[in-house]
Amino acid sequence: MCEAGGECHDARKPVPVTYADPILPPTRDYDALYRDFRWPAPARYNIGVDVCDRWADADPTRLAIVHWHSNGRRDDVTYGWLRDTSNRLCNTLAAAGIGRGDRVAILLPQTPETAAAHVAIYKLGAIALPLAMLFGHDALRYRLQNSGARALITNRSGLAKLGAVRADAPDLATVLSIDGAGEGAADFHATLARASATFAPVATAADDPALMIYTSGTTGPPKGAVHGHRVLIGHMPGIELPHEFFPQAGDRFWTPSDWAWAGGLLDCLLPALQYGVPVVARRFEKFDPEDAFALMADAQVRNAFIPPTALRMMRAAKDPRPGHDIRLRSVGSGGEALGAETLEWGRAALGITINEFYGQTECNLVVSACAKIGVSRSGAMGKPVPGHRVAVIRADGSVCDPGELGQIAVRRPDPVMFIAYWGEPDKTREKFIGDWMTTGDQGMVDEDGYFYFVGRDDDVITSAGYRIGPGEIEDCLIAHPAVALAAVVGKPDALRTEIVKAFIVLKPGVSRSDGLAADIQDFVRTRLSAHEYPREIAFIDAMPMTTTGKVIRRLLRAQA
């Protein structure tokens, strides 16, 4: 049965094995891949048409989304349903006066309606504004107000939050709820049922704005990074490389990351649909390693994007192999440094090499590993993805020597790069040194061209004249048999400028003690060095994390 009705996939019908053509050249040599790559440059391009309509027009019964509910119920959603539902939403929004360039917010978890909303907004020529379900009132208020969003698609939970902030978002005139009508909101499904399922997509250019994702706001208020329709084209080589030359026959993609984040949306949902690969949708109220293992087995997941923190939580859980038939073909991970310990666990427990990749909201998937062709080195993120010019630069924009610490940067023009920060021309200009888009991330490149992530500019610890990145220490800490999760920050110190302080979540059944803290300190001192070991250790019950699975280090720094 299809979610919310529509044509359904017949499980007895063979799964299609023809996919969109890959964007990478047909070679398995990294140097040749990088040298021979050329970007396609279509005059007209629309994400909604590319991820949905072309597949639906060819075969409306083709499987697009496998929606798993928390109670185990499964709904198969077709490209035909996705096309018709998105067309009805296009007509509904157009009737409300919403059109090209208008911002339409999506406050929904992983559901078929979320995908349909994205497709509709792109086909309408409007700008999609994804919002995370975990946002509180202040975060929601700021984004709705700052963006001038004219419409919102949400659910019952979102409506409850909206009530406290709607008065501060005067441009918000249209609200649709997938859980039925509520205060100030119309019933999504009932409203769409009255609209036509025929709509002619707007003929957008590749550079026309399509999507706006707010940054985390680590250096001030969050900024809306506006991307053009070309951003999906820009992601393609960065999907194919870490996922071992995606797509392959039988591929099926899943991520635990919220589709409101660039990682969930652009590292999984939209690329998979563009290639014609089914996407597994499942909302987790809170990430649970055992549920993740079970879902990957039950849903026959072949490809996954799993952030490093989630992988570390899975590593701390029991061995997945005895109880689950997991048959992963590829796992990509990014957002934080992966670390050697997690890499080795992936080989032992999952039977694959996890391919780390790197990017940020403004310019995603520009560095990657690919073990299949030998581009994989412990502790390194990988090499530049074909099509992207990436370097580590000095403050004057000159390129650093191998082994020299500097800032990771990406050279423009680049189709995956953001157009601008919404309403922030000065901040947009400040993001660049000449033609280099700066990332705010410290890193280095070795003699063989591998990139190493050291830390955010404000995460790097200065202690007794040493510049210390947190990643290597955290990787060492989780190798200790008592440690489940770890994060380190710099604590101000009159003598050393800063000292390393570690915050640790212990494995179940392990008791806190001064003796254990001393043992962990010795463990790091002997494995790394005397200047890197944590001089202070604090045991905590839970690690503070963002909705994207990153450790919120500013909270730990404040606590330190």
Determine the pLDDT at residue 553.
82
Q: How far, in Å, CA of 282 to CA of 280, rounded?
A: 7
Q: Are 519 and 511 in contact (CB under 8 A)?
A: no
Neighbours of 166 (CB within 10 A): 19
pLDDT digits (tens, 9 = 90+) for 254-296: 999 999 999 999 999 999 999 999 999 999 878 888 999 999 9
Question: What is the maximal distance between C-alpha atoms in the chain?
Answer: 71
Residues 234 and 342 in one domain: yes
Is residue 102 assigned to a domain?
Answer: yes
Residues 468 and 371 in one domain: no
User: Between vectors from CA 25 to CA 402 and to CA 233, what angle results, nearest 5°?
Assistant: 85
Q: At what angle do helices 470-477 and 514-527 cross, to 10 degrees?
A: 120
Q: Which residues pair with 440 in a beta bridge?
A: none
Q: How far, in Å, CA of 89 to CA of 83, rounded?
A: 10
Residues 441 and 475 in one domain: no
Q: Is residue 67 helix, strand or coil?
A: strand
Q: Inform me whether the pLDDT recorded for 310 exceeds 70.
A: yes
Q: How far, in Å, CA of 64 to CA of 187, rounded?
A: 24
What distances in angstroms separate CA 5 from CA 58, 119, 190, 216, one per listed residue? 20, 18, 12, 36
> Among candidates 542, 541, 538, which has minimal Cα distance to 557?
538
User: Between vectors from CA 335 to CA 543 and to CA 224, what angle results, nearest 5°?
Assistant: 100
pLDDT digits (tens, 9 = 90+) for 290-304: 999 999 999 999 999
Question: How many domains is the chain built from?
Answer: 2
Residues 355 and 468 in one domain: no
Q: Inform me whether the pLDDT recorded for 460 exceeds 90.
A: no
Average pLDDT over residues 210-223: 79
pLDDT digits (tens, 9 = 90+) for 491-549: 887 777 788 999 999 999 999 999 999 999 999 888 777 778 899 999 999 998 776 66
Q: Inform me whether the pLDDT recorded for 45 exceeds 80.
A: yes
**Residue 530: partners with Cβ closer than 8 Å, 6 or more residues away:** none
CATH number, domain containing residue 67: 3.40.50.12780
Residues 191 and 246 in one domain: yes
Is residue 189 assigned to a domain?
Answer: yes
What the block records as the tokens of 35 is 């040298």
Q: How far, in Å, CA of 153 to CA of 416, rounded?
A: 26
Average pLDDT over residues 228-252: 97
**Residue 199: partners with Cβ closer than 8 Å, 6 or more residues away:** 86, 87, 90, 91, 123
DSSP class of residue 182 equals: B
Q: Is residue 55 helix, strand or coil?
A: helix
Residues 464 and 439 in one domain: no
What the block records as the tokens of 494 is 């009159």
Q: Using CB atoms within 10 Å of the CB of residue 352, give its burial: 0 to 12 exposed, 13 to 18 middle, 19+ buried.
A: middle
Determine the pLDDT at residue 340.
86
Q: Which residue is it, tokens 């109670």? A: 71
Residue that is last in its domain, among 393, 415, 445: 445
Determine the pLDDT at residue 70.
83
Q: Distance between terminal CA atoms of the chain?
A: 53
Name the residue with higher pLDDT: 475 or 156: 156
Question: What's the whole-model pTM score?
Answer: 0.85
Average pLDDT over residues 179-205: 97
CA atoms within 13 A on the CB side of 63: 26
Determine the pLDDT at residue 376.
96
CATH number, domain containing residue 528: 3.30.300.30
Residues 393 and 500 in one domain: no
What the block records as the tokens of 276 is 């014609």
Is residue 14 assigned to a domain?
Answer: no
Determine the pLDDT at residue 467.
63
Is residue 209 assigned to a domain?
Answer: yes
Tell me what percent of the residues of the chain surpass a pLDDT of 70. 93
Average pLDDT over residues 123-127: 98
Q: Are 452 and 380 in contact (CB under 8 A)?
A: yes
Is residue 2 assigned to a domain?
Answer: no
Q: Are 310 and 332 in contact (CB under 8 A)?
A: no
Residues 275 and 147 in one domain: yes
Mean pLDDT (the chain) is 91
Determine the pLDDT at residue 324.
83
Residues 281 and 391 in one domain: yes
At residue 465 the predicted structure's pLDDT band, cuts being 50, 70 and 90, is low
Q: Is residue 137 helix, strand or coil?
A: helix
Is residue 450 assigned to a domain?
Answer: no
Residues 421 and 465 in one domain: no
Residue that is last in its domain, among 410, 445, 480: 445
Residues of the domain holding 404: 30-445
Residue that is last in its domain, among 387, 418, 445: 445
User: Between vectors from CA 219 to CA 213 and to CA 225, what angle results, nearest 5°?
Assistant: 20
Is residue 166 assigned to a domain?
Answer: yes
Is residue 23 assigned to a domain?
Answer: no
Residues 198 and 300 in one domain: yes
Q: Inform me whether the pLDDT recorded for 1 exceeds 50.
A: no
Residues 118 and 158 in one domain: yes
